[in-house]
A and B are shown apart, each in its own frame.
Chain A
């Protein structure tokens, strides 16, 4: 059982929805970022989505693009991102970390070497935006063999014909992208999301977490109430961009987590 599976088992036993927080590794710098990440579980975060900076984040809006640029300008790399995860694991053995990013930095390092290093650093799962099921042999299958969860995105364009293919090699949970668009753009609507989540839950035995366009505690609650959990990214990253202290960022995260946990 992976750390992610354990987390969901535990949440299920208490009837709680999952709150997932996304932050970009190394934003605005390594130390501040580590301080924020270390505080996330205390602020109510059940699963940490750690952004891997990339120069060309095709699926991200300006907020996360700029976060990646800040991190890269601060010297962030794939190795430093794994360092950050490793440092977090020194004090927390139970909160799952999912690495979210794009394939090229991983491909550049070499898949086998990456998987070994990621596992050893305490990473539990991967969300790689530009690896659809059609490219499963690249990283998805080797990752599962190495004991890492590979979490797939399902989207409003994933129709019933395609859904089985998307579910096939997915593990941990499914990330439902609630809008057609980039991160931080449109606003998700719980009414639209509910039937989609039900459709995906039916297609597989995995928790469905909803993200994109969730930016307030109320939204987090509304979305979480129709899914197994909710992800917030851009809204948190915006706080960091505005130069809020880690304490203030974490206080904001807590309001979101509380919202989701009220669901």
Chain B
């Protein structure tokens, strides 16, 4: 593409909340006025310096930003190819990237005079981040979490309760993230006056996908300047794991117009994308549909009924993907691949033993893809992966998968 014909990839969404054909506002009439109000208020906030000043102050002193960009030398040597950098968002307060976005939404909620915050959560990281910021500001917090996830992410459930949040186990459907989102939406249509719905990823009706992306973009912005400082140039490849796609969008967005930077999103392949339904790879194994307020790629059957995904990682266990990713996929600006549970577990262990970093299962998926491609890339290839969460929450799941008996000790 000639430079003078170059269209920016960073102008979306349009006024109807569309990224190409994806996105939109597919919600019931009860919610529509709320979403329009949110959009209006967000448009005001995002051009207000005092809003960003408050964000940056809290990012610095409460979250611990900027997170380091770390050169993983032993991993690099072990794989024998590309130079691997890890963006250490797992060092954030509460242990994942989720709080970047939560702070933005809660500050906005306070400006809008909302007193009750609701959220959905899968792995529990978004729930913990929301409960944390609500505690800090003295707001009432209700977190919807699939009953199945309540079980497999028990430490995070206890954390949320310690922080004063009410955790509601969701039993509809198969009791995972999609069902939690349904129940959060049902709460919102019921409590329209005082409640703010704090969505944890770049999904949902407009303006959520754009707003959450904007808040998470701090990740990619920091990487740009940190990589310039470390290497004097931009990375060659940026790579991140995708559930709904917020940590990935946050890393990718500031690089969308840098045509030389290749962008890779890693979906959860579960037991393998070919095995029937036992994965969460919406882009590799799904087709466009409408759910949770937006049009995007979805796991669904021939009748348009939504399928429950499958992944060892609760945070990736979502049958959809943010609409901006669906668009980037269709126009070919980003590449999307999938990684199985087994591959992710292997990467999890490698990160522990080579770098002394116990990663969450979500970024372990991204790391597994790094393990696949890094050996084939030249030594001067700069590869930046988002280490978007730490693995404390996952140790029981991993112990079970590795058939390690925690009660035995040594």
Contact = CB atoms under 8 A, between A and B. Distances in A.
**A, B co-complexed:** yes
Interface of A: 53-59, 61-62, 65, 72, 77-79, 102-109, 129-135, 152-159, 162, 166, 177, 180-182, 185-186
Interface of B: 16, 24-34, 172-173, 178, 182, 185-186, 189-192, 289-293, 295, 298, 300, 302-306
A58 B28 contact: yes
A77 B298 CA distance: 18
18 contacts: A53-B305, A55-B305, A55-B306, A56-B292, A57-B182, A72-B305, A78-B304, A105-B305, A108-B303, A108-B304, A130-B27, A132-B27, A134-B32, A135-B25, A154-B29, A155-B29, A156-B30, A162-B32
Interface of B, secondary structure class, is: mixed
A133 B33 CA distance: 11
- Closest 4 A-B residue pairs measured CB to CB? A108-B304, A105-B304, A181-B190, A155-B30
A235 to B, nearest CB: 19
A159 B27 CA distance: 17
A177 B190 CA distance: 12
A158 B190 contact: no
Contacts of B32: 132-134, 157, 162
B250 to A, nearest CB: 27
B177 to A, nearest CB: 12
Nearest to B191: A180
Contacts of B185: 58
A107 B289 contact: yes
Among A55, A78, A134: residue with most chain B CB under 10 A: A55
B304 A157 contact: no
A61 to B, nearest CB: 7
Nearest to A107: B290
A56 B24 contact: no
B192 A108 contact: no
Nearest to A58: B185
Given A157-B192, A159-B33, A55 B173 contact: yes
B29 A177 contact: yes
Contacts of A180: 30, 189-192
B291 A104 contact: yes
Contacts of A182: 186, 189-190
A56 B290 contact: no
Contact of B26 (A105, A108, A130): A130
A58 B30 contact: no
Contacts of B298: 104
Contacts of B189: 58-59, 180-182
Contacts of A72: 305
A29 B25 CA distance: 33
Given A157-B32, A186-B190, 13 more contacts: A56-B182, A58-B186, A62-B172, A130-B26, A130-B290, A134-B24, A153-B30, A154-B29, A157-B31, A166-B29, A177-B30, A180-B30, A182-B190
A61 B192 contact: no
Contacts of A107: 289-290, 295, 304
B305 A54 contact: yes
B26 A109 contact: no
Interface of A, secondary structure class, is: loop
A152 B30 CA distance: 12
A55 B173 CA distance: 8
A154 B33 CA distance: 11
A185 B190 contact: yes
Contacts of B34: 157
A143 to B, nearest CB: 16
Given A77-B303, A157-B34, A56 B291 contact: yes
A88 B302 CA distance: 25
Contacts of A133: 32
Contacts of A103: 26, 290
A129 B186 CA distance: 13
A132 B28 contact: yes
A158 B29 contact: yes
Nearest to B16: A134
B30 A56 contact: no
A162 B24 contact: no
Contacts of A158: 29, 33
B25 A132 contact: yes
A30 B191 CA distance: 36
A135 B24 contact: yes
Nearest to A77: B303
Contacts of B27: 58, 130, 132
Contacts of A57: 182
Contacts of B30: 59, 153, 155-157, 177, 180
A153 B289 contact: no
A153 B29 contact: yes
A53 B305 CA distance: 9
Contacts of B25: 132, 134-135
A234 to B, nearest CB: 14
A229 B302 CA distance: 37
B172 A65 contact: yes
A59 B187 CA distance: 10
Nearest to A157: B33
A108 B172 contact: no
Nearest to A80: B303
